[in-house]
Amino acid sequence: MSGVFSSFPYGAIYYAILDFDSCFLFWLKTTKNTTIQHISQKNILSVKMVYNDIPFDGIKLRENDKRRVAYFYDADVGNYAYGAGHAMKPHRIRMTHSLIMNYGLYKKMEIYRAKPATKQEMCQFHTDEYIDFLSRVTLDNVHQFAKETVKFNINDDCPVFDGLYEYCAISGGGSMEGAARLNRGKCDVAINYAGGLHHAKKSEASGFCYLNDIVLGIIELLRFHPRVLYIDIDVHHGDGVEEAFYTTDRVMTCSFHKYGEFFPGTGELRDVGVGKGKNYSVNVPLRDGIDDASYKNVFEPVIGKIMEWYQPSAVVLQCGGDSLSGDRLGCFNLSMQGHANCVNYVKSFGIPLMIVGGGGYTMRNVARTWCYETGILNNVLLDENLPYNDYFEYYGPDYKLDVRQSNMFNANSPKYLDNILINIFENLEHTKYAPSVQLNIVPNDKENLGDVEEDTAEALDTKGGSQYARDNIVETYNEY
Catalytic residues: 199
Residues 226 and 223: their CA atoms lie apart, in Å, by 8
CB 107 within 8 A of CB 474: yes
Residues 454 and 466: their CA atoms lie apart, in Å, by 7
How many CB atoms neighbour CB 109 within 10 A? 22
Residues 17 and 419: their CA atoms lie apart, in Å, by 15
Roughly how many angstroms between the first and final C-alpha of the chain, as a whole number?
68
Largest CA distance in the chain: 95
Query: How are beta strands 13-18 and 314-318 bridged, if at all?
Result: unpaired
User: 407 in the Ramachandran plot: left (φ > 0), alpha (ψ -120 to 50) or beta?
Assistant: alpha
CB 322 within 8 A of CB 330: yes
Return the bridge partners of 414, or none: none
Residues with Cβ within 8 Å of residue 44, at least 6 apart in sequence? 17
Residues with Cβ within 8 Å of residue 186, at least 6 apart in sequence? 68, 70
Cα 411 versus chain centre, distance: 23
Please name which of 298, 247, 242, 292 lies closest in space to residue 267, comparing C-alpha atoms: 242
Provide Rg for the chain, Cα atoms. 24
CB-based burial label for 205 (10 Å; 0-12, 13-18, 19+): buried
CA distances from 237 to 130, 196, 284, 285 (A): 23, 12, 9, 9
Residues with Cβ within 8 Å of residue 475, at least 6 apart in sequence? 107, 108
Q: What angle do CA 118, 224, 196 make, to 5 degrees?
A: 50
Ordered DSSP codes for 103-123: TTGGGGSEEE-PPPPPHHHHT
Residues with Cβ within 8 Å of residue 454, at least 6 apart in sequence? 466, 467, 468
